[in-house]
Structure 1
């Protein structure tokens, strides 16, 4: 997604991440390890089209450093953290895919366009990164747009300034998408809702889920599931992952697909009689997955993941499983829905009502409202 920062405003391409709080950009400053974003054209994504705005310089921060005693700085550190440099706030964030960013906090202007046509530029706190380590799913981006539940996230800062309510929504499609902050973008009555889990205060998670495959229970119940738009793939615990593989292999045993052991795009790929062009071509071979949540005020709230939501087509034309073993990457007992499984869905994270909602949607059509 594109964001305009600084004065005068400059465009930067950020990865929207509901799994982390801090927004940061690689800075035009002496750095230890820098990615090569300045040699890559920014692509601004607006609903159903992409446009290239050409090569761009690295983010040049303001001189407004956040001091170490600032509450936002404290929210990024443990209670026993000691300020080595009182006049600035150092930060370090690490991600599940092995990526990380190290830098200092600064204040700068964010240019936000309301759907009413009004433009505003609140001053917000972000990270100026000077030491970046790319993760396994690295893309040539300027940084991360943190949308988590913590105090340092952009929506939390905007809420504290009275700009919007603490509500986030996004819609990811094959040819575009949109993200909004605040309310009035959607009809709540058309959204399927489930309560946020009280056991995961730092992540958007829902609990008491049952995993279903092809409409039938897999036997895995009372699961906590994290929704993380910053994760390219979906992750299951080792036990559930291997059980799912068994079900898929059993389902494919009498079909024409064969395992493509020479395709290392992802751990498991299958080839057909001829190369596949899109995930629509393999839908008939695979069954849908679903998480069925006990939502409290309703009997069940079902989050369905069709084959297109857990498969990708490799460069060799094979169908590869976009669900990975989370235990192998240190996620331990966490099940995580990544953006591969959020395709063509409107996801809403309502921090005001502590609820997560979803609905099938055309993500190439931006809704009209008074939110950001």
Structure 2
């Protein structure tokens, strides 16, 4: 399946079955990696690659192992478990950018380990070890877009570039996936080697870094409309002013990052309906509204368009329009569309300008990047990458709050902090 279609669905773990399958890692290396001491408070900062269209997701290069080797991981705040495609040996893997990760036997996480218990407890249905002597922690996780990863939990070194220009290589636990399925075909070419799970659970990389005293349990990302952007762990890059903060709410549908319920507006006019339960998910390319707000949004947009735009069919997305000449970017057509707003209560508004809900396809058409969540049986609303672009989004688990502030998300390292106070 093409990348844009593959990643159009939200990437959030919703179903897990635990199985014990054969696993044959390489013999343990004689060298034992040394653990770096925790640094003084500092953020780990990474540049991002990718885009909403045509890549379909944003990803980070993580250097893993000893010696460290690079892997591309899809940045996903909608799930907890980080995993790499893994030669253990691999039963069903996609074609990936780098050679498959090869674990050694001494990297296996025993089933009795607390991180395995946390993984099992955080998944549905909850499973437990069959015995206290079981030498590996098995998992199988399925996502709402039918993708899945089956494997075992391992521990290895992650090389983290800190903002103070030092490096640290903590040992972190992640999934070694030896059976991946993407859509209906597990052998498709993939842009990434795996997934970076940054959810709220205790097995997420962010939680593990907090447990080891390396960074605070704070995460931020800035996704650029022109591609790329940056990602950080820790709190010393969080702006000190102008951030819109809302309390982190408990989602009724899972342990997701939710700013609570919001009222929806189009061009500052209420679209009616009951307040929407909202979840932020960087693992979803597009934004998904449930049936009522989706239909209200489509009706409002159609009712405001000029006659110069004509609705057409485009294989990229369900609802598209053609202009008098082919569009080259969203900014060519921005003036023909109005902004949406999500109001989370007093003084907490997320502005959604046209460039945060529209895509210009390779055919030169402009398409709506807000999709009907009822087609994937969602009962809550997902704010995906397209709407999170060109604003720093902060997931502060220390203070249990979510924040956002608009600004440039350029790849230039000098601009990482220049755009924000």
Per the normalisation by structure 1, the TM-score is 0.88
Q: How does 1:9-20 map to 2 (within 5 A)?
A: 9-20=68-79
The residue aligned with 1:163 is 214
Structure-1 residue corresponding to 2:384:
338
Matched, 1:175 2:227: yes
Distance (whole Å) between structure 2 residues aligned to residue 66 and residue 338 of structure 1: 33
1:175 deviates by 3.3
From 359, 371, 382, give the equivalent of 1:324. 371
Deviation at 1:138, TM superposition (A): 8.6
Counterpart-to-counterpart distance in 1, 2:221 and 2:386:
13
- CA distance in structure 2 between the partners assigned to 1:207 and 1:138 by the alignment: 37
Aligned to 1:91: 139
Q: Does 1:249 align with 2:312?
A: no
Which whole-Å deviations, capped at 9, do the CAs of 1:257-292 have from their partners, x for residues lacking one?
Answer: 00013x221111100011100011110111111111
Distance 1:98 1:310 in 2: 24
Separation (CA, whole Å) in 2 of partners of 1:138 and 1:178: 25
Paired with 1:368 and 1:306, the residues of 2 have a C-alpha distance of 23
* 1:307 correspondence with 2:354: yes
Residue 103 of structure 1, aligned match among 151, 154, 157: 151
The answer to whether structure 1 residue 268 and structure 2 residue 310 are counterparts is no
The root-mean-square deviation of aligned C-alpha atoms, in Å, is: 1.9
Contact 1:227 1:336 in 2 (8 A): yes
1:73 and 2:116 are equivalent in the alignment: yes
Query: In the alignment, is the contact (CA less than 8 A) between 1:233 and 1:337 conserved in 2?
Result: yes
1:139 to partner: Cα distance: 4.5
Question: Taking structure 1 as reference, are residues 131 and 206 closer, same or farther at Cα in structure 2, changes over 3 Å only?
Answer: same
Deviations 1:151-210 (A, max 9, x none): 100010000011111000000002321100001102232211011113456110011311
Q: Encode CA deviations 1:276-332: one digit per residue, 9 max, x unaligned.
A: 0001111011111111112xxxx221111111111111121000111111111121x
Aligned-residue offset at 1:135? 4.5
Determine if contact 1:62/1:107 at 8 Å carries over to the other structure: no
Out of 334, 341, 350, which is 2:396 matched to?
350
Displacement after TM superposition at 1:62 (Å): 3.5
Tell me which residue corresponds to 2:332: 281
CA contact (8 A) 1:68 1:83 kept: yes
Asked if 1 retains the 8 angstrom alpha-carbon contact of 2:95 and 2:189, the reply is: no
For the residue of structure 2 that corresponds to 1:249, the secondary structure is helix
Q: Is the 8 A contact 2:273 2:292 kept in 1?
A: no
Q: Would the alpha carbon gap of residues 153 and 171 (structure 1) be closer, same or farther in structure 2, given more than 3 Å must change?
A: same
For the residue of structure 1 that corresponds to 2:210, the secondary structure is helix
Q: Residue 73 of structure 1: SS of its match in structure 2?
A: helix
Q: Distance in 2 between matches of 1:240 and 1:288?
A: 15
Q: Distance in 1 between matches of 2:128 and 2:398?
A: 33
Tell me if 1:21 matches 2:80: yes
Counterpart Cα distance in 2 of 1:57 and 1:4: 13
- Using the alignment, how far apart are the partners of 1:36 and 1:104 within structure 2? 20
Shift of 1:121: 0.5
> Take 1:16 and 1:62, find their aligned partners in 2: how far apart are those partners?
26
Q: Which of 84, 90, 99 pairs up with 1:31?
A: 90
Q: Give the drift of 1:215.
A: 1.3
SS state at 1:246 partner: helix
Larger deviation, residues 72-81 vs 173-182 = 72-81
Match of 2:286 among 233, 237, 245: 233
| Aligned-partner Cα distance in 2 for 1:222–1:141 | 36
